Amino acid sequence: MKRRRAASLGALGENEILARIAPGVALPVDVAVGPGDDCAHLRLRGRDWVWTTDALIEGTHFERDWMTPYQLGRRAYLVNASDIAAMAGRPRFALVALSAPADLAGRDVAALQRGISAAAARDGAVIVGGNLSRGRELAVTISLLGEAPRRPPLRSGARAGDGVYVSGALGDAALGVRLLRGDARARGAAVRRFREPPWRVATAQALARTGLITAMIDLSDGLLEDLARVCRASGVGARIDAGALPVSAAVRKHGVSLALAGGEDYELLCAVPPRKQERLASLSRELGCPMTRIGVFSNAIEGVAVDGLRAELPHSFEHFRRGTRG
C-alpha cells in the first residue's frame, strides 16, 4: 500500500501544528479556558487554577556549556512561571520530567533540581513529583499549576484603541543566545539575561487585580509573533513603533530585529484602555517594573504593522511590516 506523505512538523510551523492537535471534543464544564491561551484555566470545586507546561531541550533551546545545571533548572522554572504570570496566576505545584544522557553526573542532576526548587520557593511553589528517564539529550520539562483569579486575563480581550504595552526591556536574551552560539564562554548582561528570565509574577497579578488591562500574554517567541497571537485572538490589528521599543544600547547596536523577532524575553505584553494609561504609569513606578507603550490596537489594520523600521527585519518577517487596510 502506498502511503501519502504527511507534512512534516518543520513544514507546518508551530501555529498550524497547535491548531491540529487541539482536542476535537467538547471540553468538560470545569475547563473554563482550554488550548489556545498561555495556560489552561480550570475551575475545580469553585477554585480557579491555571496549568501550563514547557520544555527546555539541549540542542534546541540551549547547549550544556551555556550555563550551569543550577541555572538551567532556574530557567526551566521561570519560563513556566512566565505562562502562569500571563494569566495572573500564582505558581504552587510543579512536576518535573527530566530526560538525561547516561553520562550526566549525579551531582548535576541534584544541582538542576536545586535550581528549580530555589526559583519555585520565591513564589511559594514546590516540586511535588516527576520522572527521570534516559535520553540522548538533556531535556527538562516542567508542568506548573498555579492559583488563579476568577477571571484571568486572556489573549482575546484587546480592543481597538487600547495601548500595546510591554514590561521591562526586549531583545537582550536573544542577543545573549547569539553571543553564546558564537562563543560558549561569552559573558555580559545579555548572556545573564538569557540565563535568568525576568520574574513578572507579582507585576502580572497587580496588573490584573487593578483591572488596568484587557488582555495579556507573555513574550516567549518574539514580540511580533506573540502580538500577532493577541491580535488573532482578539479580532483586532496592531500598529507599533520600532522607535518606542524598550531596548538596551547593546540591542540597539545589534539591530532592533532582536527585540521584534528574537524571542526568549519572557516579558509581559498587555492591552491597556486609554483612560487607564495614567494609572498604569503610577502602578509601574510603584512596582519598580517599567511598562512601555509601544503602539496601539486598531481595527484599521490586519495583523501587525511596524512603523519606523530601517530595513532591519529578517526576510521571513517581511509580512509583518506592511499593515493592510481592511
324 exposed, middle or buried (CB, 10 Å; 0-12, 13-18, 19+)? Answer: exposed
Please say whether the beta carbons of 90 and 201 come within 8 A: yes
Q: How far is CA 46 from CA 29, 49, 86, 144, in A?
A: 12, 10, 21, 20
Contact footprint for Mg ion (CB under 5 A): 38, 83, 218, 220
CA distance 250 to 297: 28
Given the complex with Mg ion, which of 174 and 179 has the nearer CB atom?
A: 174
Q: How far is the CB of 200 from Mg ion (least distance, A)?
A: 11
In the complex, the smallest distance separating the C-beta of residue 237 from Mg ion, rounded to whole angstroms, is 21
To the nearest whole angstrom, how small is the minimum distance from the Cβ of residue 296 to Mg ion? 22
Nearer to Mg ion, 83 or 267 (CB): 83
Q: Could you tell me the smallest distance in angstroms from the CB atom of residue 86 to Mg ion?
A: 5
Judged by beta carbon, residue 83 or residue 225, the one nearer Mg ion is: 83
Closer Cβ to Mg ion, 83 or 162, answer by number = 83
Written as nine digits, the cell of 182 is: 558564537
Q: Which residue in the block uniquely carries the three cell numbers 536574551?
A: 173
The residues near 244 (Cβ < 8 Å, ≥ 6 apart) are 292, 293, 294, 295
| 3-state SS assignment for residue 100 | strand
Instruction: Return d(Cα 106, Cα 292) in angstroms, integer.
Output: 44
Q: Looking at beta carbons only, is 203 or 220 nearer to Mg ion?
A: 220
Nearest-approach distance from CB 89 to Mg ion, in angstroms: 12
Q: What is the closest distance, in whole angstroms, from the C-beta atom of residue 38 to Mg ion in the complex?
A: 4
Q: CA-CA distance, 67 to 153, in Å (whole number)?
A: 33
Element (H, E) at 128: strand 126-134
Least Å from the CB of residue 139 to Mg ion: 19
Closest CB to Mg ion among 147 and 302?
147
Report the residue number whose CB is nearest to Mg ion: 38
Closer to Mg ion by Cβ: residue 54 or 162 = 54
- Nearest distance, CB of residue 197 and Mg ion, angstroms: 12
> What's the rounded Cα separation, in Å, for the pair 100 and 257?
34
Shortest Å, Cβ 84 to Mg ion: 9
Nearer to Mg ion among residue 81 and residue 177 (C-beta): 81
User: What distance in Å separates the CA atoms of residue 225 and residue 240, rounded to the nearest whole number?
Assistant: 13
The DSSP annotation for 180-205 comes to HHH-TT--SHHHHHHHS----HHHHH
User: Which CB, 38 or 48, lies closer to Mg ion?
Assistant: 38
Express the helix, strand and coil content of the chain in percent, nearest 5 each.
Answer: 40, 25, 35
C-beta of residue 89 within 8 angstroms of C-beta of residue 127? no
